[in-house]
Structure 1
């Protein structure tokens, strides 16, 4: 089954008619390691899910890359400013592995929201989940120590160490690679 449709079903029920509409509108692509889904300044208003692969989101601060999140398989992803507000992105989304993903444009999704109440409900529930994820991330940066953030990351994504470079992980945690090495030795 299409992984994006499967994920939508986790948030609510879909009639066969809606599934057919989604099947027509959802596209898939494969990208190579190092390719970009989105670059800073672009407006790419598509929601996507990775079937196989991995992405990172990062932005530039004083000519230094700062990783803000990692996107693993079976999680709905996108960049908020272009997605919901059609504004240029401040972030970059780059593939860290060869990745196959499925996507739908926000215009097409909004059309389905207007036509089907159940799709509108699914969209609301997804937005609520995203708000919780963002709040958890903000709180972790303000309340947890670097070591606690590292432990949380390992709990949530146990294979992160095998799939993401230590430099990217350190940046995500807001620490240097040397500090990450000390934390890992504990």
Structure 2
């Protein structure tokens, strides 16, 4: 996915504003299993996924809990770092070799002050992240695992083929055995 597609999917920018923003974006590649972001550290970057799949997870005493998957076209951001310049709570692990676009948050903040179109783009970006978080919370609180799995199949069917079932079970808040039962029930 191109950076133009990703940026415009968040919110369309005039060409001159998009060009200003793209001057600060670089392409990077990292291997599968690379930890892109670590909990309890400030992350001064935003990433956009050109190719690959990632997961966000938090660690408890005895296990990792996956709470988000990202794929091509999506944004990887620690909102706590982005908004408050404070350490985030999530770890981001690459589940495939990934090609990413990288943007330093400080450069983005400078552009917010220089270009109203980029400032509006940043507002739309934050609003979209908030809505995604709200949808995730509502899904976890009010939908049973079967319905959450069906939502995952509907919204991100390719993840089922590309992500380990253990991560999917963790994301759904169930055991792998329960996930196997759900998958058998759907077939």
TM-score category (smaller protein)? over 0.9
Paired residue for 2:23?
A: 24
Look up the SS of the partner of 2:72 in the other structure.
coil
Paired residue for 2:2?
A: 3
In 2, the alpha carbon distance for the partners of 1:143 and 1:127 equals 24
RMSD over equivalenced CA pairs, Å:
1.4
Residue 12 of structure 1 and its aligned partner are, at CA, apart by: 3.7
Q: What's the TM-score once normalised by structure 2's chain length?
A: 0.93
Q: Which 5+ residue runs of structure 1 have no aligned equivalent?
A: none
Paired residue for 2:64?
A: 65
More displaced stretch, 67-76 vs 123-132: 123-132
In 2, the alpha carbon distance for the partners of 1:10 and 1:178 equals 37
Look up the SS of the partner of 2:23 in the other structure.
helix
Contact 1:49 1:74 survives alignment (8 Å)? yes
Q: What's the TM-score once normalised by structure 1's chain length?
A: 0.94
In 1, the alpha carbon distance for the partners of 2:4 and 2:112 equals 14
Paired residue for 1:88?
A: 87
Superposed, 1:1-186 pairs within 5 Å as: 3-186=2-185
Look up the SS of the partner of 1:89 in the other structure.
coil
Contact 1:12 1:118 survives alignment (8 Å)? no
In 1, the alpha carbon distance for the partners of 2:134 and 2:12 equals 27
Contact 1:5 1:22 survives alignment (8 Å)? no
Q: Deviations over 1:61-98 (max 9, x none)?
A: 12310001001000122111112211112110010000
In 1, the alpha carbon distance for the partners of 2:6 and 2:50 equals 11
In 1, the alpha carbon distance for the partners of 2:92 and 2:147 equals 26
Q: Which 5+ residue runs of structure 2 have no aligned equivalent?
A: none
Q: Taking structure 1 as reference, are residues 167 and 13 closer, same or farther at Cα in structure 2, changes over 3 Å only?
A: closer
User: How many pairs does the alignment contain?
Assistant: 185
Runs of 4+ in 1 over 6 A off after TM superposition: none
